[in-house]
Amino acid sequence: MLMKTAITVLALAFALLTNVVTLAQDGEEPRAPYFQSRAFNVPILAGWDDQSGESFAQFHLAEAQATIRTTTRAERDPIAAAEAELAMLTSLRAPPPSYSGKVNLADGTWHVLVYDLEEETTASVMARVAADRVAVISFIERDPAARTAVLTLARSDGSHEVASREMIFAADTLAATAPSDLLQEESVTLPSGEWAVYAGEGMTVMGLVFGNDSYVALQQGEQGDLAALADAYNRTLLGFFITPDNRHYLALALAVVFVILGALVGSLFWRERGLRKDLTVLEELARAEE
C-alpha cells in the first residue's frame, strides 16, 4: 500500500514541479546588468565605456570627459578616503572642498564632497563607512569648457515635490548665483525619474526628488550632456549596494535543520532500542516464571 501511495505522490509531485518550472521560466525577465564584486555592486552604465577592474567599477563617457568610479578603500575616515581616491585618480592634491556635507540614505550616512581640483577638473564624491572599509563613489569631469558637479542633499522641506530649494542652494553654494538669476524650464524625464530643470546665464541646474533627499546636478560653461551625467550618477548611487555577510545565520539555520532531522531519526532508533530492552525484560520475566 505504501508503495502505491509513494507512486501516486511521486506522480503528483512531478506534475506540480513541471508547473513550477514553467512558471519560473515565464517569470524570468531580463535584469539590469550589474558590476558585482565581494565588496559592492553597482549598475553597469549602458553607453559608457566600461573600464572596470576586479575591485573597482569605472565607467567613462568620452564626449563629456566624465568618469564615474566606485570602489572601497582601507582608510577609516570617509573624507580621507575620498581625497586619497582623487589623488590616485588625478594625481592632484585635493584642495579644501567647495561643498562638504552629509546625507542619510537608506543604506547609511554618506559624506557629500565637491572639489575643484584644477581649472578643468571638478570632482564630486560620496563616501560612507562600510564595515571595515569606506565605499567611495566619484564623479570626475575634465571638460575644459564646462564645470559639472553633482550633489545629494537632504530635503529642507518634505512637502515640495520639486527640489527647487536644493537646486537654488547648490547654485548659490557652488556657482555663487543668486536665485533670481535662474529660470525654471520644463522638466525632463530620464530613466532615474523626472528631473526639474533651472537655467541661468551659462548655467543649468537639474534636480530630482527621491524619498527624503534631493539629487542635484549643476553645469557651468558650455552646456553639454548634463542630463546623461546626472542620470548616470544618480543610478550609480541609488543602485549601489553591498552584499551582506550573513554566513553565520546560514550556519545557524543549517544547524537547526540537522538538529531537528537528527532528533526525528534519532527518536526512531531510541524507541527501537527501548523496544528491544522491554522485550528482554519480558523474556527474563517469562524465564523466571518457568
Partner 1 sequence: MADKAKSLPGELRIEGPPQPRALRLLTVVTVLGFAATLVLGLGLAGVDIQQGEIQRIFYIHMPSFFGAFTAFGLTVAGGLLYLARKSEKWDRIALAGVEVGLAFSLINLLTGAIWARPIWNTWWTWDPRLTSAAIMCLTYAAYLMLRAGIEDAGRRRAFMSVYGILAFVTVLITLFIIRIVPETIHPMIVGASPQKAQGSFEATSGVVIALIPSLLLWLTLMPITIIWHRVRLEERMEALHRLKMQALSE
Tell me which residues touch partner 1 (CB under 8 A).
Answer: 1-3, 5-6, 9-10, 13-14, 16-17, 20-21, 23-25, 27-29, 31, 34, 36, 41, 241, 243-247, 249-250, 252-254, 256-257, 260-261, 263-265, 268, 271-272, 275-276, 278-280, 282-283, 285-287
Beta partners for residue 139, in sequence order? 68, 124
Shortest spacing between CB 248 and partner 1, in angstroms: 9
Nearer CB in complex with partner 1: 96/244:
244
Shortest spacing between CB 51 and partner 1, in angstroms: 21
Shortest spacing between CB 254 and partner 1, in angstroms: 8
Nearer CB in complex with partner 1: 21/80:
21
Nearer CB in complex with partner 1: 6/46:
6
Nearer CB in complex with partner 1: 87/261:
261
- CB proximity list for 98: less than 8 A, separation 6 or greater: 114, 115, 116, 149, 173, 174
Where do runs of H (alpha helix) occur along 91-153?
Answer: none
Shortest spacing between CB 249 and partner 1, in angstroms: 5
With the C-alpha atoms ordered 39, 40, 46, 47, is the resulting torsion angle positive or negative? Answer: negative
Nearest residue to 109 via CA among 127, 123, 87 = 127
Nearer CB in complex with partner 1: 176/250:
250
Nearer CB in complex with partner 1: 41/52:
41
Nearest residue to 110 via CA among 150, 145, 169, 152 = 152
- CB proximity list for 219: less than 8 A, separation 6 or greater: 146, 147, 148, 203, 204, 205, 226, 229
Cell numbers placing 245? 555577510
Shortest spacing between CB 128 and partner 1, in angstroms: 18
Shortest spacing between CB 99 and partner 1, in angstroms: 32
Shortest spacing between CB 227 and partner 1, in angstroms: 29
Nearest residue to 121 via CA among 82, 148, 150 = 148
- CB proximity list for 85: less than 8 A, separation 6 or greater: 69, 71, 73, 125, 127, 136, 138
Cell numbers placing 60? 567613462
51 Cα distance to chain centroid? 19
- Burial (CB count <10 Å: 0-12, 13-18, 19+), residue 123: buried
Shortest spacing between CB 246 and partner 1, in angstroms: 4
Nearer CB in complex with partner 1: 145/279:
279
Nearer CB in complex with partner 1: 132/157:
132
